[in-house]
Structure 1
Amino acid sequence: MKFNDLLLGLLVIAGGVGIYVSALDFTPIPGQAYGAETMPRAIAFLAIGVGLFLSARAVMRAERVPRLSLADWAHSPRSLASLALTVALVVAYIVFSDSIGFVPMALIVMVTLMLALGARLIVAVPAAIIAAVVIQEAFGGLLLVPLPPASILGFQW
């Protein structure tokens, strides 16, 4: 999908405003001049600035390109099926990850996507296992992001 600069600029501005508004609810860190809202607000200001730049440039150049045009891949049924599968797997992860756990759901998602995109099973399974474990350790262990624990047959790991 291709957007002209005016439409893309307006979308980026809307995203920046959304980020800024969502950061208003973040609580400040006591005793510090900055808090959890600092980075999202900085990103929001940058996004709004980039969006204003894109929009102004499009208006000054008086662009006559279509507002929206589909890329060549969007006309392929196989590509659209892959896109639909990706969206369905993301929704499945959101729905089932709390009950199944991060690692099993990540394995299901990654193996399914790799097989759908043409990888062989002998490559997809080990790659998914390594990726799921590395992501679990990086985010869950090092960065302390709370990922859903695996709970299969009533046992939690």
Structure 2
Amino acid sequence: MKLNDLALGILVFLAGIAIYLSALQFSPIPGQAYGAETMPKTIAFLSLGLGLFMIGRSLAVGMTRPGIALDNWTRSPASLGGLATAILLILVYILFSNAVGFVPMAFGVMLALMLTLRVKPVTAILVSLLAAVVIQQAFGRLLLVPLPRNAFLGFLW
């Protein structure tokens, strides 16, 4: 899928507005001049500026209508099935990760996606298991991100 600069500029501008509005809900850190909203607001302002620049440049060269062109892969049922599977797996992770835990869900999601993309089963199993554990260790232990835990596998970390 290809967007012309006017359509992309409009999307970037709207994304900047959405990021800014969501950053307004972040609470400040007591005793500091900046807080959790600082980086999102900076990204929002940069997005707004970039979006306005793209819109202005598109209008200056005579582009008056946003446009979209679909690539050839969008006509393939197998490709659309893979896209639908990826979106479905993301929804499944969102809905069930708190109950199942990060490692089993990440393993299952990655394995299902790799098998959908026709990766050899042994490779898919090994890569999914290794990636789930490495991601859990990197985010859960090093970065202290609170990932969903599984009562059965909680002893591992």
Counterparts of 1:122-141 in structure 2, within 5 Å, are 122-141=122-141
Shift of 1:63: 2.6
Three-state SS of the structure 2 residue aligned to 1:147 is: coil
Q: Partners of 1:85 and 1:149 in 2: how far apart?
A: 25
Three-state SS of the structure 2 residue aligned to 1:109 is: helix
Q: Partners of 2:40 and 2:28 in 1: how far apart?
A: 13
Partner of 2:2: 2
Partner of 2:61: 61
Give the total of aligned pairs.
154
Task: Note the alpha carbon deviations across 1:135-156, whole angstroms, 9 max, x for none.
Answer: 10111111111111023xxx35
Shift of 1:36: 0.6
Three-state SS of the structure 1 residue aligned to 2:87 is: helix
Does residue 114 (structure 1) correspond to residue 111 (structure 2)? The answer is: no
Task: Note the alpha carbon deviations across 1:109-147, whole angstroms, 9 max, x for none.
Answer: 101111111110111111111100111011111111111
Partner of 1:147: 147
Unaligned runs of 5+ in 2: none
Partner of 1:18: 18
State the AA in 2 paired with 1:3.
Answer: L
Q: Partners of 2:15 and 2:3 in 1: how far apart?
A: 15
Cα 1:25–1:66 shift into 2, 3 Å: closer
Q: Partners of 1:2 and 1:59 in 2: how far apart?
A: 18
- Contact kept? 2:58, 2:64, Cα under 8 Å: no
Task: Note the alpha carbon deviations across 1:84-126, whole angstroms, 9 max, x for none.
Answer: 0000100000111111111001011101111111110111111
For the aligned residue pairs, the C-alpha RMSD in angstroms reads 1.4
Task: Note the alpha carbon deviations across 1:12-66, whole angstroms, 9 max, x for none.
Answer: 1111011011111111111111111100000001111111111111101113786
Three-state SS of the structure 1 residue aligned to 2:124 is: helix
Identity %: 53
**TM-score scaled by structure 1?**
0.93
Shift of 1:2: 1.4
Partner of 1:28: 28
